[in-house]
Structure 1
Amino acid sequence: MQHRAKKFSTRAKAIASAAAVAAVGAGVAGAFSASADTTSAAPAAAPIAVGSEATTTSAHLTADAATRAARAALDAAEQEGQRVTVAVVDRNGNTVVTLRGDGAGPQSYESAVRKAFTAVAWNAPTSELAERLENAPNLKDIPGTLFLGGGAPVAHDDAPIAGIGVAGAPSGDLDEKFARAGVAALGDGR
């Protein structure tokens, strides 16, 4: 049994082609007219000005200052033969700069960032905060924190503006010593 393909007439081919072109054209025209129709859109609302009593201004550590602090902390560690990572975070806990020293362990990166965040969040050295865990052990459950020595806050007019975290030395005391060297590179840090 042989199947013979039916031949379409020229007229059928022309009608099918015209229908396909019309469908594509309608879709394109509809998409164009939908994106071009701005006359029915509501006018944009004008910005509303708020008074100064509704806003606040805060100081931030510059990227250059953060880099200078991180470099000072890393240099202090290298002078003592320690392989560490240094992180500087802003007041909101966002990492501004991280320097990973030659040979620093893989865990040191995240630990340095978390120590820096913890120091700025509480405006206190992380070694002091670690001591608070005895009375409030749930503090360690706060996301992003690390209550081990090695984090030092940076403050301006007694308000925290950054944190410096160091990780990788054999003790939190050494890590914190290097973090404080970073703060010292910024002046008195207070």
Structure 2
Amino acid sequence: MQHKAKKFTARTKVLSSAALLAALGAGLAGAVSASADAPAAAPAAAPAALKAKATFSSDHLTVDAATDAARAALDAAEKEGQRVTVAVVDRNGNTVVTLRGDGAGPQSYESAIRKAYTAVSWNAPTSELAKRLQSAPNLKDIPGTLFLAGGAPVAKDNAPIAGIGVAGAPSGDLDEKFARAGADAISNRG
């Protein structure tokens, strides 16, 4: 069965096209007027202004100073033939720099970070803190801490701003000696 195509006259084509354009134009006009009638978005709220007594400023060790401290501690250990890892944490206990010396044991990485964290948390060398365990043995249960010699605090105006931890030498005394070398290197910075 064949369909015969109807032939549209020129007039029919023009009328169909005009109707189509009118429908499209009406839809566009409706969309524009609908968006014009929509309420404007509320302006963003201004941030709350705080009074000076509601905040405080604190000092932080720069990345360059932390790197210098770690490098000085690692250099001191290498001069004595020790294979250690050095970690420097900021005042909040976040790791800023770690340097794992050639041949340092796998346990030294985590131990160095925990010693640095412990030193900055109490603003004291970890060798002194280890002695406190005799009178307060539950201190060792505080997450993230390690009460073994090898951590040295870095302070400014008696407030802790960083901790340096060293692990991997055969004794905590050596670890702490190297950590102090790192602290001394940055205390002499200008």
Under a length normalisation based on structure 1, what TM-score does the superposition of the two structures give?
0.77
Q: Secondary structure at the match of 2:98?
A: strand
Q: Could you list the structure 1 runs, at least 4 aligned residues long, displaced by more than 2 angstroms after superposition.
A: 38-44
Q: Secondary structure at the match of 2:109?
A: helix
In the TM superposition, what is the alpha-carbon distance from 1:187 to its structure 2 partner? 1.8
C-alpha spacing 1:39/1:106, structure 2 compared with 1 (3 Å):
farther
C-alpha spacing 1:165/1:39, structure 2 compared with 1 (3 Å):
farther
Pairing of 1:132-151 with structure 2 (within 5 A): 132-151=132-151
In the TM superposition, what is the alpha-carbon distance from 1:39 to its structure 2 partner? 4.9
In the TM superposition, what is the alpha-carbon distance from 1:40 to its structure 2 partner? 7.2
1:49 maps onto 2:49 in alignment: yes
The corresponding residue for 1:155 is 155
CA distance in 2, matches of 1:41, 1:122: 51
1:78 maps onto 2:74 in alignment: no
CA distance in 1, matches of 2:127, 2:46: 50
In the TM superposition, what is the alpha-carbon distance from 1:188 to its structure 2 partner? 5.8
Q: Secondary structure at the match of 1:108?
A: helix
Larger radius of gyration: 2
Pairing of 1:1-150 with structure 2 (within 5 A): 39=39, 42-150=42-150
Q: Deviations over 1:83-141 (max 9, x none)?
A: 00000000000000000000000000000000000000000000000000000000000
Q: Secondary structure at the match of 1:134?
A: coil
Which segments of 5 or more consecutive residues in structure 2 lack a partner in the other structure?
1-34
In the TM superposition, what is the alpha-carbon distance from 1:43 to its structure 2 partner? 4.0
Q: RMSD value over aligned CA atoms?
A: 1.7
Q: Secondary structure at the match of 1:178?
A: helix
Q: Deviations over 1:143-177 (max 9, x none)?
A: 00000000000000110000000000000000000
Q: Deviations over 1:42-100 (max 9, x none)?
A: 54321011011110100000000000000000000000000000000000000000000
CA distance in 1, matches of 2:48, 2:97: 36
CA distance in 2, matches of 1:177, 1:76: 9
CA distance in 2, matches of 1:84, 1:72: 12
Q: Secondary structure at the match of 1:185?
A: helix
Q: Secondary structure at the match of 2:89?
A: strand
Under a length normalisation based on structure 2, what TM-score does the superposition of the two structures give?
0.77
The corresponding residue for 2:184 is 184
The one-letter code of the counterpart of 1:99 is: L
CA distance in 1, matches of 2:100, 2:74: 8
Identity %: 80
The corresponding residue for 1:13 is none
